[in-house]
Amino acid sequence: MRLPVVTVAASRLRAAGKVLAGSTPETNHTAAGGLTVSVDPTDASAAARREWATLLAPVWLEAMKTLDPNVDYPYSMIPMLAREHLEKCRLLPNREELITKHLPKGGRVAEVGTFRGHNARTILSGAQPDELHLIDVDFSQLERTEPIGAALQSGQAVLNQNDSVAALLTFPDGYFDWIYIDGDHSYEGVTRDIAAAAQKVKHDGLLVFNDYTYWSHAELVPYGVIHGVNELCLREGWYLEYYTLDSLMYCDVAIRRMNS
Ligand SMILES: C[S@@+](CC[C@H](N)C(=O)[O-])C[C@H]1O[C@@H](n2cnc3c(N)ncnc32)[C@H](O)[C@@H]1O
Taking the C-alpha atoms of residue 207 and residue 191, their distance in angstroms, rounded to an integer, is 13
Q: What pLDDT was estimated at residue 11?
A: 47
Q: What pLDDT was estimated at residue 75?
A: 58
Q: Could you tell me if 191 and 237 are in contact, meaning their C-beta atoms sit under 8 angstroms apart?
A: no
Helix then strand then coil, % of the chain, to nearest 5: 40, 25, 40
The pTM for the full model equals 0.82
Nearest CA to ligand 1 atom 23: 183
Q: What pLDDT was estimated at residue 47?
A: 79
Using a 6 Å cutoff on CB, does residue 218 contact ligand 1? no
Topology of the domain comprising 83-257: Rossmann fold (3.40.50)
* pLDDT tens for each residue of 137-162: 999 999 999 999 999 999 999 999 99
Q: What pLDDT was estimated at residue 53?
A: 76
* pLDDT tens for each residue of 234-253: 999 999 999 999 999 999 99
* pLDDT tens for each residue of 88-133: 999 999 999 999 999 999 999 999 999 999 999 999 999 999 999 9
pLDDT confidence band for 42 (50 / 70 / 90): low
Q: Could you tell me if 90 and 243 are in contact, meaning their C-beta atoms sit under 8 angstroms apart?
A: yes
- Domain boundaries, given as residue ranges, for the chain: 4-64, 83-257
Instruction: Give the percent of the chain with pLDDT over 90.
Output: 66
Using a 6 Å cutoff on CB, does residue 163 contact ligand 1? yes
Question: In a mutational test of the pocket of ligand 1, which residue from 115, 178, 190 has the highest number of ligand atoms less than 8 Å from its CB?
Answer: 115
Q: Could you tell me if 227 and 221 are in contact, meaning their C-beta atoms sit under 8 angstroms apart?
A: no
Q: What pLDDT was estimated at residue 9?
A: 42
Centroid of ligand 1 to alpha carbon of 154 (angstroms): 24
Taking the C-alpha atoms of residue 258 and residue 260, their distance in angstroms, rounded to an integer, is 6
Beta-strand (E) ranges in 113-251? 131-136, 157-161, 176-181, 201-209, 215-216, 221-222, 238-244
* pLDDT tens for each residue of 213-226: 988 888 878 899 99
Q: Could you tell me if 112 and 180 are in contact, meaning their C-beta atoms sit under 8 angstroms apart?
A: yes
Q: What pLDDT was estimated at residue 110?
A: 99
Q: Could you tell me if 253 and 208 are in contact, meaning their C-beta atoms sit under 8 angstroms apart?
A: yes
Instruction: Give the percent of the chain with pLDDT over 70.
Output: 82
Q: What's the longest Cα–Cα distance across the chain?
A: 64
Centroid of ligand 1 to alpha carbon of 164 (angstroms): 9
Mean pLDDT of 190-208: 98
Using a 6 Å cutoff on CB, does residue 160 contact ligand 1? no
